[in-house]
Each structure stands twice: as C-alpha cells, then as structure tokens.
Chains A and B, each alone.
Chain A
Amino acid sequence: MTGLTRRRALMTLPIAGAGLAGFGCWKMLSAMQDGSFDPRAIRLDKNERPIPDFVLPGIPGLGDGFDTSMLRQATQPVLINFFASWCIPCVAEMAALRVISQRIALWGIAYKDKPDDARRFVSRDGSPYRRTALDQSGMTAIDWGVSGVPESFLVLPGGQIAWHGTAALDETQFEQHVLPIAAGTR
C-alpha cells in the first residue's frame, strides 16, 4: 500500500509543477496588466529621484510654462502629466484627469505636439491642468524617462519624484498608488 501511495505522490508531481508555473505566469500577467511588471522595461530606477533640470515654454494662449525651480518650490505635491493631442489614450484619460484634478495639483506637459493642437486639446472641454508647458522637441520627456504618452509623475515638495505611472491614469489607480504617497507628505 505504501508503494501505491508513493506512486500516487510521484504522479502528482507533474501537475504540482505545472500548477506552480501556471500560478507564476498568472501573477506575471496580472502584474503586466496593472503595469507593475514589464519584462521589457528599460529603466530600473527607483521611484525616489530628483526631477531633471528643464525649462519649458507655455502653450500659446494658456499662460506661461514652468521649470525645475518652480516645481521644486511648490508647497504641495504636484502630479505631472505628459500628454499629446495625437494620442488616443490621452483623450480617454482626460475625463479621469478632470476628477483627479479636484484632489491634487495637476500640471501638464504636451509632448511632441503642435502648439495649436495642444491648446485646442487642453481647452476643448475645460482644462484639468493648473499649469501647462510645451515640450516640442521631446528632450525634456527623455530626461524624465518618458517612454510614451500618457505618463504621470508625482513630484513631492522639494522636487523628488515619488511615483511614476506609465499608463493612462484612472481614479482607482490614483486612489491606490498616488493619493497615499501624496497624503503622507501633507
């Protein structure tokens, strides 16, 4: 009988192994979907890092731009959002940004965009951004480590990047990831 039990144990090994592998894959897939795991990620930077130096002009008709020192001197956490008028997820993201902008200071940077397009895009249904700037060459975005738009960064007073989101923001993500960090510094 012990022989048979041992045999049974042996025969369950394959499914146990497959189950473990399957569980791991499931973990990876779900982590890939919420953006916390990216097998092709280039950067490994920890989120805590200072903001890069930049000076950006404003979008014509929407006030002046901003630069590193203004961001550093902010007294509240600021959520920086890179967007572009030609980017379809950014259009979709706008609705969520309007809600989010009620709860945090939201500054926008238009990435590789025509000034007129960017202005129309931002002001079409009311701008969610307190300040906007235009990064026409895309070089500032490179310094920040943007790999595409939309991406968002949470900048703490003093100019530390505390969080980096590489996908379109929604309210749940905002409440889960951004708000706790921002609230901790207030």
Chain B
Amino acid sequence: MFFLGPEEGHYALAFACVLALAQFILPLWGAARGIRLLLDMASRLAFAQFIALSYAFVSLIACAVGDDFSVQNVAANSAISKPLLYKITGVWGNHEGSVLLWALILSLCGGAVALLGRGLPLILKARVLAILGGVSTGFQLFCLLTSNPFARIWPAPADGQGMNPLLQDPGLAFHPPVLYTGYVGFAVPFAFAVAALIEGRVDAAWGRWVRPWAVAAWCFLTCGIAMGSWWSYYVLGWGGYWFWDPVENASLIPWLTGTALVHSAIVVEKRDALRIWTVLLAIASFSFSLSGTFLVRSGILNSVHAFANDPARGVFILGLLAIVIGGSLALFAWRAPGLSAGGLFAPVSREGGLVLNNILLCALCAVVVTGTMYPPFMQILTGRTLSVGKPFFDATTIPLALPLLAAMGLGTLLPWKRGHLLPALRRLRIAGVIAAIALIGGSFLLEGILPVLCAAAALWVIAASVVDLASKLGLRGGLHVLRQRLPRLPRAVWGSTLAHIGIGVTVLGITGMSQAQHNVVEIGLGETIHQGALDWTLLSVRQEAGPNYRALIADLSVSKHGRVVATLHPSRRDFESQHQVTTDVAIRTNLMRDLYAALGESHGQGSSARYVLRLHNNPLAPWIWLGGVVMALGGALSLSDRRHRFGAPRKPSQAVAGEGS
C-alpha cells in the first residue's frame, strides 16, 4: 500500500494529536473572549481530527492486511496464514491497536457532535468539542508516547507470531469496537457536563441535549456487555455467562451509572430538577469507563481476559485520569454549589420513582465497586491476599436489584410532580396477580428462595410495562381510541417499555440459568447419563483434521422419554504448532433451554477409551442475551423519537434564557 505505510499512519496520528490539542485550546479561548472565528473552528477541527485519525487507523489495517511484519504490532499479532477477517480484527485485538481504536471512536464522537449538534448554542457546542478535544489529546499522546502501534522492528521477521486461536472468533472480533463505543460514548455527556459547569448553567434544554448521547452510549454498552457475556458462554466452555471478573465488572459499573444518568436526565428535561446530580452522574459514568480500563490495563486488577499489563503504562494512564477525572470533579466542587436548585416534587411521583431508581442503581454500583476494589486495596493495606467472587456479588446485588425491579414496574405509571400509590397499584392489579402466581408456582418449581423472587419480580416488570403501554394506548376505550392514539404515541414510550421488558427478560434468563442442571462425567462409548428427564448418550468419537489443528469430535445424542431431541457434536481442537488445546462447545437451543456440551480430555485407547464430558441443561439461557438485545433496541427506538434526536432544537420558550454566558 503506497500511501498507507506505517510512517504515514504514524504521521497522521501525530497530526491528529496536534489537531486535537488545537480543538481543546482554541474554542475554549474563543468562548472566554467571545471570538466567533475560534468558536466556528471547533467543528472543523473535530472533523479534521477524525479524518487524520481514520487515516492512521486505516494505515494500521493496511499494514496488517499487507503482512508488513516490520511493524512490531503486526509481527506480534498477525501471520501470513491468518484469514483476512482476523487480520483486520486482530488490529484491535491487542493493547496498542485497541488504544488507537479507542482514540478513533473518541474522535468519531467529536465529529458526531460537530455534525449532529447544529441546534446547539454556538458557545456550548464549542466548549463540548473543546472538552472532547482535550480528552482526545490525552489518549493520542498515550498512544504516541507509550503504546505506539506503528513502532518498527529490525530485522523484520519473515512471518508474524500469529494470534491466540481462542481469539480467532467472530464474536470476539466485533466485541471490542461495540464495547469501546459504549465506554467512549459517555465522553459526550461528560463533555456536556463539564461545559455546563464552565458555563455555570444547567437547564431543561441541557437535559434534552445530553440525553440522546447518554442513551446512545448506553445502547452500545448494553450490546457490548451482552456480547462479552455470550462469548464467554460459548467459547470458554465452563457453562457460565458472567463470572464477576474485574473486566466484566469494569463494564458493568459504567453501565449502572449510565442507566442512572439516562433516567435522571429525563427529570432534568421534563421537570428541571436533579440538575447537579445529573451533572455528577455524567462525570461519573465516563470516569468509571476510563478508570475501569485503567485498572485492568495496569494490572492492578487480575482478570480472565485482558491484555498484557504494564505498570509503567499504568502510571501514564493514571496521570491522564488524574487530569480528566480530577479536573472535572474539581470544577464540579467549584462550580456546582453555585448552580440553582431545581424544581420541587413529592416523594410519590414520577420524579420520586426516578430518584429511587437512581439511588438503588448507585447503591448497586457502590457494591460492585467495593467488591471489585476491595482485594487490591486490602492487599496493599494489610498484605493479605483475598478474592471476592460470585457468592459476595450474589449476596449483595440481588437484594438491591429486587426493590429496583419492584419500583420499575410502578414508576412509569406515576404522574409527574405528585402522585398516589393506590391508583397506580390498582392499575397494576393484573401485573400483581401475575407476580403472585409466579411466586406461588415458582416456589414449587424452582430451587431456592432468591430465584423465586427474581422470577416474580421479572414477570412483574414485564407485566407492568405491558399494562402501562396498554393504558397509554387506551386499550380499554375500544378500537377507535387505539386507532387515534397508536400513531401519536411517542417512540420514546415504546422505547422505554421495550427496555424495561428487556430487563425483565434478562432477569428471567438469569433465573432460569440458576436452575441449570450440569454434570461432569467420564464415560465410554455407548454409555448413557441420566440428567433429570434427559438421557445423554455418547454415540461415537472421531478424529478430524482441520487447517491448522487436529480435532476430536464426539457425537452425543440427547433423548427425552426415549425420543431423541438433539444430537450434539462438541469437539476439542489441538493446535499443535501453538501447543494449545481449545474446547469447542456444542450448544443446541430451542429458545426455552440450551443443551450445552463440552468435551474434556480422554483416557485410554480404542474401544476402552473414556471421555470426560461436561453436560448442561440450561433453561431460558438465551433469554439473558435476548433481553440485552431488547434493551438496546428499546434505547435505539427512543433515540429515533423526533423529540430526542441528537441536537434537537430548544423549545422556543427557553431560547431566550439559553443565550450568552
């Protein structure tokens, strides 16, 4: 590739860094002095920075595709024999490339604000872009100074070192971009919050501008988390979907604060209350996104799936975090007390419900943060090594999540400003009956008290959302009311209903998964394992040669009451050249349950050989991720609402108040 060599890419990256610095300084200066020219430059600089960075990124991809092994990053992570798709996705499958991707997405956010924020006041937009430029500068400097993806090695090896076979998976290839978009997306609400603090004013219009960005970032983060969870379910072969691993927690924490932000921004927009709190949440969401990555990359937190860590890099990121998070929180401490308090509302009202949602989400977040950070802090303070795992998180998060679910069903039915519990509860009679039936039925069917409560809470949320939607559509009033209201019902209402249903679906999936039956067995050919109503029979085991591995494939038949329901083919791949064995899980789903089988080691030869097998029957497992998709769809639907488009113009009544600073 003639114009896309590593030097060109490196140069483009340096150029983008200079542009980002200009994007940081010039608009802020222009806003302080009222220089129109500098304010106008903000958008152009954002576009230019995005273009320069895209050029750098495309160059890196070109190096990988063109097998330029003089580039260290390519030599270490690629190989001639690697399929084209994985050559491309391998670019962000390592530390350097992922930092570059991170910076690229950040500049994409800047470009999106510049493009879609036409309705924003000039000064606010310039400041938002300046903050984004500042964060970009930091990340591009990080990229250039400590993790340069374009570094050369000499002499260039003839072939690269390839990539971990485990990582050659389409799910994992597209997981990071989605997840990073979620993380980085919270930079935009963050920039809005900092800009509002500089300006010293937060109002309903600000709430309306921030919300679509927060919702968009939330959608991506939801998808990213769901994809990561799905990946560990079908690749790792342990039959689990969430391990409370630090990397997973690092994505869950901003998701919790982000969810709180999405909801509290509604209160700012509709009722002009909770302003300072919303600003803090916007700062917190991005701060948690950043620090989660920092903790994992620096090696302070120990994780299952992570890049190689390096304390020296950690120091740089920590400095960057100190500036970004410390600076914004210092600004918050300085300017927030001066912000005027917002509107009033009664405890029992839509606002009250949203406040309760915020409090519970933040408590959940605090619990997860505590559980994640406790071990390293304890180790440095007392020298004792300990770990906090699933039992801790189960014991703390579920009791907090249950009231959250209970409040979720009720909240959407309460009117703004002041409401009464009784009428709302009366409208939820049906949902209550469904939950009660689930409670009674569940206590016979399910094991343990928590799953029963979770199932009831999930059904309550789903039923309440449907009841709410039905009453907004006026289903009781007959067909002509429906015909009248259906086209006029805002998409945002559909979106929020869908997102709430998604939560319920996920919780049902988790509940189902807690009832999973699993066996680890060692059996010979023809033997049968009884698992509940299911009979697993090992029919045969065969060898097969793949392109760069040898596979051992087992043929299992699963039958229920003597009738074969499925045959599964779990396999075990031995990548001889890399001395690595991977387990290929076989999953057969009918959406109500997953049959899940993994093949372990084998002992003995010929007909007397015995094979270790992990056999699961996971009820409702697919619902966990299905719910995530439904949530993200709900978010996307509410984004498509005309009133929530990015940079929607202000209401005329607020236009006057919005000028000057």
Contacts and interface: CB of A to CB of B under 8 A. Distances in A.
B321 A22 contact: yes
B385 A44 contact: yes
A124 interface: no
A39 B326 contact: no
Contact of A15 (B312, B333, B373, B385): B333
Nearest to A4: B337
A40 B302 contact: yes
Contacts of B379: 37, 39
A31 interface: yes
Contact of A7 (B298, B329, B337): B337
Nearest to B295: A25
Given A15-B329, A18-B325, A28 B312 contact: no
Given A14-B333, A32-B300, A41-B385, A27 B318 contact: no
Contacts of A40: 299, 302
A33 interface: yes
Nearest to A15: B329
Contacts of A2: none
B326 A15 contact: yes
Given A24-B380, A28-B376, A39-B301, A33 B312 contact: yes
Interface string B373-385: 1011101100001
Which of B294, B333, B376 is packed against the most chain A CB atoms within 10 Å? B333
A99 interface: no
A12 interface: yes
Q: Is the interface of A mostly helix, strand, loop or mixed?
A: helix
A24 B373 CA distance: 10
B330 A15 contact: yes
Nearest to A8: B337
B376 A39 contact: yes
B380 A31 contact: yes
A148 interface: no
A24 B376 CA distance: 9
Contacts of B315: 26, 29-30, 33
A19 interface: yes
Contact of B329 (A8, A14, A31, A41): A14
B64 to A, nearest CB: 27
A29 B337 contact: no
Interface string B1-38: 00000000000000000000000000000000000000
A11 B325 contact: no
A19 B332 CA distance: 14
B483 to A, nearest CB: 50
Interface string B277-296: 00010011001000100110
Contacts of B658: none
A22 B337 contact: no
B262 to A, nearest CB: 20
A28 B337 contact: no
A26 B333 CA distance: 23
A22 B322 contact: yes
Nearest to A24: B377
Interface size range of chain B in the complex = 35 or more
Contact of B280 (A14, A26, A27, A30): A14
A25 B318 contact: yes
Contact of A18 (B302, B329, B336): B329
A70 interface: no
A74 to B, nearest CB: 30
B314 interface: yes
B311 interface: yes
A7 B295 CA distance: 31
Contacts of A87: none
Interface size range of chain A in the complex = 20 to 34
Contact of A11 (B291, B294, B295, B332): B332
Contacts of A32: 298-300, 311, 314
B298 A29 contact: yes
Given A33-B312, A37-B380, A44-B385, A15 B295 contact: no
Contact of A29 (B284, B311, B333): B311
A21 interface: yes
Interface string A20-55: 011011111111110001011100100000000000
B299 A39 contact: yes
A11 B337 contact: yes
A7 B291 CA distance: 27
Contact of B326 (A8, A22, A31): A22
Contacts of A11: 276, 332-333, 336-337
A18 B287 contact: yes
Contacts of A27: 380
A15 B337 contact: no
B395 to A, nearest CB: 23
A29 B332 contact: no
A15 B380 contact: no
Given A4-B337, A39-B300, A29 B329 contact: no
A12 to B, nearest CB: 4
A31 B311 CA distance: 9
A76 B103 CA distance: 56
A47 to B, nearest CB: 12
Nearest to A41: B385
B373 A21 contact: yes
A44 B294 CA distance: 26
Contact of A8 (B300, B330, B333): B333
Interface string B256-280: 0000000000000000000010001
A40 B315 CA distance: 18
Nearest to B329: A15
Nearest to A34: B311
23 contacts: A4-B337, A7-B337, A11-B276, A11-B337, A14-B283, A14-B329, A14-B332, A14-B333, A15-B333, A18-B287, A19-B326, A24-B380, A25-B318, A29-B315, A29-B318, A33-B312, A37-B379, A39-B299, A39-B302, A39-B379, A40-B302, A41-B385, A44-B385
Interface of B: 276, 280, 283-284, 287, 291, 294-295, 298-302, 311-312, 314-315, 318, 321-322, 325-326, 329-330, 332-333, 336-337, 373, 375-377, 379-380, 385
Given A32-B311, A39-B375, 15 more contacts: A15-B330, A15-B333, A18-B325, A19-B326, A22-B318, A22-B325, A25-B295, A26-B318, A28-B376, A29-B298, A29-B315, A33-B312, A37-B380, A39-B301, A40-B299
| Ranked 4 nearest A-B pairs via Cβ | A15-B329, A12-B333, A32-B311, A7-B337
Interface of A: 4, 7-8, 11-12, 14-15, 18-19, 21-22, 24-33, 37, 39-41, 44
